[in-house]
Amino acid sequence: MTSRPAPPGNPGLLDQPDPPGQAAQATPGQPGPILRRPQRVFAGYVLDLDGTVYLGDELLPGAADTVARIRLAGSRVLFLTNNPLRSAASYAGRLAALGLEAAESEVLTPLSVLTAYLAATHPGRRVLTVAEPLVDHTLRAAGIPVTTEPSAAGVVVVSFDRTFDYGKLLRAFLAVRLHGAAIVATNPDPFCPGPDGGLPDCAAMLAAVQACTGARAEAVLGKPGRQMAEQVRRRLGVPPGEAVMAGDRLLTDVAMSRELGMTSVLVLSGATSAAEVERSAVRPDYLIDNIGQLLPSQPEHGSAT
Ligand SMILES: [Mg+2]
């Protein structure tokens, strides 16, 4: 037998897939999932960004190599974030600046889910936003009419808004309470983690709008919601049983991989500690230190002869 270099192919695709969900049935209090990495290469990879691919302004260990190996294997990759403050193009640019080339079409944010949701569910209705200017720009670019007039609004979109103020809350209140507008939120996150303690996120603005109107959001987009799951399924384009979702949070990333029927991988490089996994009823199929362990180990050069 000739010596084999590190495989650029996709050898694991011929293996039997691991049944997703096996580790999720572990009972809390029982010994938790052992730290272990997937032993095969899958046809598709959904990768959370913050805490999984990068943290702050740096790629996490192994991120660039892992994505390069996924591409070499001919597998699909999709980057996923719940943060609505940047466009997909902006995230692709940020990844490239950090040393990881990604196409805009490979990044899914809550704003892509938002435009698809509004076009399908509220075609032609005017939207009043509690959001930063990017949301208004994104809606207009998608042909969705935006208004600041409460009586004209059919939908109030609430997002992560660092410019949130009483005037915005009042307009949203009037649109919902007096004019019956529906409420749609971009993402469910209470806060966005950051080096200085983080920032209040969409759930805080949504709580304010819900508190004064007594109404509830008809949809909260982003992970782990079904609208984003649907977009992931469509964008990735591989059967869920052939796909992995890797992320750093149990209640968004692992929960959504369950919703999608994908194999779940939790990385310990972000928001979740091994002790939290031990205590949780939501368990990933695989638990790894960081994204550098997402693929099977490469045979060491020179040892295979
Ligand atoms: Mg994350």
Catalytic amino acids? 48, 50
Q: How far is the CA of 124 from the centre of ligand 1 (A)?
A: 34
Residue 64 domain flag: yes
Residues 206, 118 share a domain: yes
| CA-derived radius of gyration, the chain | 21
Distance in Å, CA 150 to ligand 1 centroid: 35
Contact 243, 236 (CB under 8 A): yes
Mean pLDDT by 10 residues, the chain (305 residues): 37 37 44 76 97 93 97 98 96 97 97 96 98 98 98 98 98 98 97 84 98 98 95 96 97 93 96 92 94 89 48
End-to-end CA distance of the chain: 8
What is the model's pLDDT at position 8? Answer: 36
What was the pLDDT predicted at 300?
64
pLDDT at 42: 98
Can you give the pLDDT at residue 5? 40
Residue 303 has what pLDDT?
46
- The CATH number covering residue 169 comes to 3.40.50.1000
pLDDT score for 23: 44
pLDDT of residue 284: 95
Note the pLDDT of residue 93: 97
- Cβ atoms of 63 and 278 within 8 Å: the answer is no
State which of 179, 200, 220 marks the end of a domain.
Answer: 220
Same domain? 209 vs 266: no
Q: Taking Cα atoms as reference points, which of 266, 200, 235 lies closest to residue 102?
A: 235
Co-location of 185 and 126 in the same domain = yes
pLDDT score at 32: 52
Looking at 220, 253, 281, the residue that finishes a domain is 220
Residue 110 C-alpha to ligand 1 middle, in angstroms? Answer: 14
Distance CA 180, CA 110 (A): 24
Boundaries of domain holding 267:
44-82+224-293
Q: Would you say residue 23 lies in a domain?
A: no
Number of domains in the chain: 2
pLDDT at 13: 32
Distances (CA, A) of 255 to 115, 252, 268, 293, 302: 23, 5, 16, 21, 41
Are residue 230 and residue 211 in the same domain, yes or no?
A: no
Asked whether residue 119 falls in the same domain as residue 186, the answer is yes
Q: Are residues 201 and 280 in the same domain?
A: no
Same domain, yes or no, for 138 and 179?
yes
Q: What's the pLDDT at 225?
A: 93
In this structure, is residue 168 part of a structural domain? yes
Q: How far is the CA of 95 from the centre of ligand 1 (A)?
A: 15
Instruction: Calculate how far, in angstroms, residue 140's C-alpha sits from the geometric centre of ligand 1.
Output: 28
What's the predicted TM-score (pTM) here? 0.84
Domain assignment present for residue 173? The answer is yes
pLDDT at position 194: 75
Q: Which of 171, 194, 220 is the last residue of a domain?
A: 220
Same domain, 117 and 193: yes
